[in-house]
Amino acid sequence: MQVNRRQFFKLCAGGMAGSTIAALGFMPEKALADVRNYKLLRATETRNTCPYCSVGCGILMYSLGDGAKNAKSEIFHIEGDPDHPVNRGALCPKGAGLVDFIHSPNRLKHPEVREAGSNEWKRISWEEAFERIARHMKADRDANFVEKNADGVTVNRWLTTGFLAASASSNEAGWLTHKFTRSLGMLAVDNQARV
């Protein structure tokens, strides 16, 4: 659901009278036409949810980039979703800094490997990363998979590799993680719920 900000304002123009902008004493049309629209004209507005605490505040993300093939879209502003029944437009100091999380200088950009004993990262391709990780997994699984326990009961488990699942990834990622780990026989699967 990507609402173009201009359409949004057109739709809401009547309803804006009761909003904060009007409360601050601006004539809404004037404020929108002269100030807000200038920057937001080119922006796309996307609904999302704050990924920090479990209040689940609604947010509106404003990005530049029109979806054209070679134009990367980039978010330049985030604010609370005024329609959201819980946060009604508010964000706390954590959520207020979200745009800096997205653009953190510490965002990872490429697959890398740190070789045994080495003191540095080496950039690798996704293909190499998948290949090497799958090799490690297969070697470990084939060597240590337990088909039957001491009593002869079929147990089909793999205990020598484990998986720590995320706390902010989506349900959909979580479901695929479940399928991935359990089909391999993993039991050391845990998430942040305990910690």
Partner 1 sequence: MTNHWVDIKNANLIVVMGGNAAEAHPVGFRWAIEAKTRNKAKLIVIDPRFTRTASVADFYAPIRTGTDITLLSGVIRYLLETGKYNKEYTLAYTNAALLVNPDFAFEDGLFSGYNAEKRSYDKSTWSYQLDEQGFAKRDDTLADPRCVINLLKAHVARYTPEMVETICGTPKAAFQKICEYIAETGAADKTTSFLYALGWTQHSIGAQNIRTMAMIQLLLGNMGMAGGGVNALRGHSNIQGLTDIGLLSTSLPGYLTMPSEKEPTLEAYLSKYTAKPLADGQMNYWQNYPKFFVSLMKAMWGDKATADNGWGYDLLPKWDKGYDVLQYFEMMHAGKVNGYFCQGFNPVASFPNKNKVVASLSRLKYLVIMDPLATETSTFWKNHGEQNDVSTADIKTEVFRLPTTCFAEEDGAIVNSGRWLQWHWKGADAPGEALTDPEILAGIFLKLKAMYAKEGGKFPDAIQSLSWSYLDPHEPKPEELSKELNGRALADLPDPKNPGQFLAKKGEQLPGFAALQDDGSTASGCWIFAGSWTQAGNQMARRDNSDPSGLGNTPGWSWAWPANRRILYNRASCRPDGTPWDKARTLIKWNGEKWVGIDVPDFKADEPPGSPMGPFIMQTEGLGRLFALDKMAEGPFPEHYEPFETPLGTNPLHPKVISNPAARLFKTDKEQLGGHEAFPYAATTYRLTEHFHYWTKHARLNAIMQPEQFVEIGEELAAEKGIVHGDTVKVSSKRGYIKAKAVVTKRIKALNVNGKKVHHVGIPIHWGFEGVAKKGFIANTLTPFVGDANTQTPEFKSFLVNVEKA
Residues in 69-108 at the binding interface with partner 1, rule: CB under 8 A: 72-75, 83-87, 90-98, 100-102, 104-108
Which CB atom, from 27 or from 168, has the smaller least distance to partner 1?
Answer: 168
If one counts every other C-beta atom within 10 angstroms of the C-beta of residue 63, the result is 19
Restricting to residues 28-47, which ones interact with partner 1 according to CB under 8 A?
44, 46-47
Whole-Å CA distances, 14 to 7, 11, 38: 13, 8, 20
Q: Which of 12, 55, 155, 165 binds ligand SF4 (CB under 6 A)?
A: 55
Kindly state whether residue 11 participates in binding partner 1, applying the rule CB under 8 A. no
**Interaction between residue 66 and partner 1 (CB under 8 A):** no
Beta bridge partners of residue 61, listed in sequence order: 46, 78
Task: Give the integer Cα–Cα distance in Å for 190 and 173.
Answer: 14
Interface with ligand SF4 (CB under 6 A), residue from 22, 53, 159, 176: 53
Compute how many other C-beta atoms are within 10 angstroms of the C-beta atom of residue 189. Answer: 14
The Cα 4–Cα 153 span in angstroms is: 60
Task: Tell me which of 6, 42, 94, 141 binds ligand SF4, using CB under 6 A.
Answer: 94
Which residue is associated with the tokens 């695929």?
Answer: 176
Compare residues 43 and 98 and give the one whose CB is closer to ligand SF4: 98
Pick the piece of the chain touching ligand SF4 (CB under 6 A) from 26-34, 52-60, 128-136, 159-167: 52-60
